[in-house]
Amino acid sequence: MLKARQADPDSWGSRIGVIGSRSKWQAFCKAAEEQGIEVRTPRSLKGDDEQAAFAELGLDAAVVVAYGLILPQAVLDAPRLGCMNIHASLLPRWRGAAPIQRAIMAGDKVTGVQAMMMEAGLDTGPVLASETTEIAPDETGGSLHDRLSSLGAQLAPRALEGLAGGMLMPEPQSDDGVTYASKLTAADQRIDWAGPAPKIDQQIRGLSPFPGAFFHWTPPGEETPLRIKALMSEYVDQAHDEAPGTLLDDALLVACGGGKAVRLTRLQKPGSRAMDADDFLRGNKVEAGARFQ
């Protein structure tokens, strides 16, 4: 039974601790409070008071999911069995903040979710249990996030039971194949049409629906370019000799580097809802020969 929940700023637990963020976990926090479970929302875990409060819970284990704060060593050491993190990659590949998006952007075919014991290093702890899943050719960051979330929810109680009962022993990560899923930046979002078409397609899908890859387009008769989000696309193996960013037809087929193309199938203008390509084209005059920047 949970005694308290604390996250980012929000989380805690008694026999088991769960760590997250009120802004991301509204329904969870509300349900906890309705059952009389304490919800804490510290801005930092570095203070002695917060660390003491955590230790006083007498936890067997703490489960950490998508928590935005650094856990000091005193917090990591407080639970009897330690702190367990549910991480959305197959470690040591994609340690860090954006493993789901980075996996798609890199063209990975398989990923997964793992229960790992936390230590001072960034996602370096030994792994308790794993679940794998294939990345579909039309996978988006959103669809993969939802699937991994479901797998993680199933994995967490199994891993905890195995940890508590001694049926699962943490296995050290390999020193080979380490990659880092660094935090996404505006540079990651900007589409460079001179890049290879398959990579651009992966970028668009990996960043969809949030934060979204983008390009600039100046509508006919206008002087100010619009920042357009590309939310879905498909790679088209069609040879061309046009400059990157050139529209090859009237249906949003965009020339990319390497003589291949990407077709945009879902877009979003500033201040508008996301829409499929047909709806976008009905409201915007975009014809072959136009240029996206």
Output the pLDDT for position 69.
81
CA 293 to chain centre: 26
Overall number of domains in the chain: 2
Output the pLDDT for position 2.
39
Question: Both 193 and 160 in a single domain?
Answer: no
Within 10 angstroms of residue 24's Cβ, the number of other Cβ atoms is 16
**Backbone φ and ψ of 184, nearest 5°:** -70, 140
Taking the C-alpha atoms of residue 288 and residue 103, their distance in angstroms, rounded to an integer, is 33
Output the pLDDT for position 22.
59
Taking the C-alpha atoms of residue 99 and residue 88, their distance in angstroms, rounded to an integer, is 6
**Residue 252: both structure tokens together:** 């949003």
Here the CATH number for the domain that contains residue 60 is: 3.40.50.170
Question: Both 191 and 269 in a single domain?
Answer: yes
Which residue range(s) make up the domain with 253? 186-283
Question: Both 30 and 148 in a single domain?
Answer: yes
Question: Both 9 and 147 in a single domain?
Answer: yes
Output the pLDDT for position 236.
98
Question: Both 213 and 157 in a single domain?
Answer: no
Asked, for residue 33, whether it belongs to a domain, the answer is: yes
CA angle 179, 185, 191 (to 5 degrees): 100
Output the pLDDT for position 39.
81
Question: Both 231 and 139 in a single domain?
Answer: no
Asked, for residue 291, whether it belongs to a domain, the answer is: no
Output the pLDDT for position 68.
78
Question: Both 144 and 259 in a single domain?
Answer: no
Check: pTM over 0.85? Answer yes or no.
Answer: yes
Asked, for residue 172, whether it belongs to a domain, the answer is: no
Helix or strand holding residue 206 (H, E): helix 197-206
CA-CA-CA-CA torsion sign (160, 161, 166, 169): negative
* First CA to last CA distance, the chain: 55
Greatest alpha-carbon pair distance for the chain in Å reads 70
Question: Both 22 and 106 in a single domain?
Answer: yes
Question: Both 22 and 160 in a single domain?
Answer: yes
User: Could you tell me the mean pLDDT of each successive run of 10 residues in the chain, 293 residues long?
Assistant: 42 42 70 81 88 91 87 95 97 98 99 98 97 98 98 96 95 98 97 98 99 97 96 97 98 98 98 97 95 97
Asked, for residue 94, whether it belongs to a domain, the answer is: yes
- Altogether, the residues listed in the chain come to a count of 293
